[in-house]
């Protein structure tokens, strides 16, 4: 019948490496070991005496006992498969010291995305061994950035980690964190020019506060939820919450896209885009490069429609200059759909524009061009020249 190790948690074993002896306990995939003096062996097993063979190796039948050569043991250390936890003689409360170290590791791993990550387990084991009282503080300080590197593998950062720890472990801090998160959600919705019902806002705030959502995910999910035709997709879990709530959809981006359309396209070409404005607004909000790409597309389309004007000149400038010219001739501001104005906008020749505007103004009986004509005729009396013809037809007027 084999004797048992009667020290530490159930499963603690004894290992001999050359002339050294270690108590070993495996937790969360890590083998922690404590060095034991030879004269302490009788206190950690239930055998009255521990005997040795001619090579100095324990010969007493102890359950789980292993002899490992120094070379093999060194290899285990180098590969991070075993971790030195100290001398057993340094432990004051022997019965519980191993238990406490193991419990600390398990508590650190509880329900964390990286709980079984080898780099993380190595890191916290080192901190526990170096300073068991302050290991969490040292983990937060992360002087070498090793913990931050672990977090990055799981799309976490230190800010998210701090939110998660507060949310899980501090009731007062959690309430304040959720309150601040509600404010952040409402500010984001205000920026998006949209809204959600209070219950949905609370749900989203808890997702953010608990670090289930990052800052980027918060924005993309709220955009997807409130912006029609967004390129982002709402998570299935969030979709169910939205189905039970009230969503005020965003008009953000509509004004910006409408302005681009009206700036670069003649009215005749605008309607198909205006009919699709919500879709365009969604792309505008979701893609930082969309406005520039879309503008270039409209420039090409307008230039193909009327190549008389330089491609880079906004159609809004062409329209504004044409309206100013016509209004100065007619004394009346034309409607932007006026056929004469449309004709003038298509001509890149100021003298021709003036000629058309004057003729049409007189034909319509507008006072200003008619009075200008009479004034020109009265100045021509006695000269033998009829200036009215010159007024109407000559380039430049």
Domain presence at residue 134: yes
Number of domains in the chain: 4
The confidence score (pLDDT) of residue 253 equals 87
* pTM of the predicted model over 0.85: no
73 and 54 co-located in one domain? yes
The confidence score (pLDDT) of residue 381 equals 54
Q: Range of 262's domain?
A: 254-305
Domain presence at residue 5: no
Task: Count Cβ atoms within 10 A of the Cβ of residue 17 and give its class: 0-12 exposed, 13-18 middle, 19 or more buried.
Answer: buried
208 and 273 co-located in one domain? no
Q: Across the 397 residues of the chain, what is the mean pLDDT of every consecutive 10-residue run?
A: 81 91 78 84 86 93 93 84 65 50 58 77 75 79 91 93 86 92 96 93 95 95 89 92 90 90 93 91 86 96 92 93 92 89 91 91 84 69 49 47
Domain endpoint, select from 248, 266, 281: 248
Q: Using CA atoms, how far apart are residues 108 and 121, in angstroms rounded to an integer?
A: 9
Domain presence at residue 329: yes
Domain endpoint, select from 154, 176, 204: 154
85 and 56 co-located in one domain? yes
Domain presence at residue 261: yes
User: What does the angle CA 154 – CA 139 – CA 185 come to, to the nearest 5 degrees?
Assistant: 50
Task: Count Cβ atoms within 10 A of the Cβ of residue 223 and give its class: 0-12 exposed, 13-18 middle, 19 or more buried.
Answer: buried
102 and 40 co-located in one domain? yes
């Amino acid at each position: 019948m084999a004797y048992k190790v009667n020290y530490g948690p159930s499963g603690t074993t004894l290992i001999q490496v050359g002339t050294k002896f270690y108590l070993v306990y495996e937790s969360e995939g890590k083998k922690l070991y404590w060095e034991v003096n030879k004269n302490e062996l009788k206190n950690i097993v239930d055998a009255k005496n521990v005997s040795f063979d001619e090579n100095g190796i324990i010969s007493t039948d102890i359950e789980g006992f292993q002899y490992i050569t120094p070379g093999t043991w060194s290899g285990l250390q180098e590969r991070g498969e075993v971790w030195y936890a100290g001398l057993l003689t340094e432990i004051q409360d022997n019965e519980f010291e191993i238990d406490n170290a193991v419990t600390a590791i398990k508590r650190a791993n509880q329900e964390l995305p990286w709980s079984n990550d080898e780099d993380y387990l190595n890191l916290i084991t080192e901190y526990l061994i170096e300073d068991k009282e302050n290991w969490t503080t040292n983990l937060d300080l992360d002087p070498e950035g090793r913990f931050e590197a672990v977090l990055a593998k799981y799309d976490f950062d230190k800010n998210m980690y701090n939110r998660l720890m507060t949310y899980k472990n501090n009731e007062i801090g959690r309430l304040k964190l959720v309150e601040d998160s509600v404010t952040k959600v409402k500010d984001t919705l205000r920026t998006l020019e949209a809204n959600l019902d209070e219950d949905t806002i609370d749900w989203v705030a808890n997702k953010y506060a608990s670090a289930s959502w990052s800052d980027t995910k918060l924005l993309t999910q709220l955009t997807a939820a409130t912006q029609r035709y967004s390129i982002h997709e709402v998570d299935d879990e969030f979709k169910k919450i939205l189905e039970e709530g009230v969503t005020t959809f965003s008009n953000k981006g509509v004004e910006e896209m409408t302005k681009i359309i009206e700036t670069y396209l003649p009215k005749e070409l605008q309607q198909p885009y205006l009919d699709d404005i919500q879709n365009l607004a969604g792309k505008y909000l979701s893609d930082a490069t969309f406005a520039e790409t879309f503008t270039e597309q409209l420039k090409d389309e307008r230039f193909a429609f009327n190549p008389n004007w330089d491609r880079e000149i906004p159609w809004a400038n062409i329209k504004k200059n044409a309206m100013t010219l016509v209004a100065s001739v007619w004394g009346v501001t034309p409607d932007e759909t006026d056929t004469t104005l449309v004709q003038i906008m298509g001509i890149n020749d100021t003298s021709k524009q003036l000629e058309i505007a004057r003729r049409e103004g007189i034909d319509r009986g507008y006072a200003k061009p008619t009075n200008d004509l009479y004034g020109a005729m009265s100045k021509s009396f006695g000269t033998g020249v009829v200036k009215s013809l010159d007024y109407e037809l000559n380039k430049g007027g």
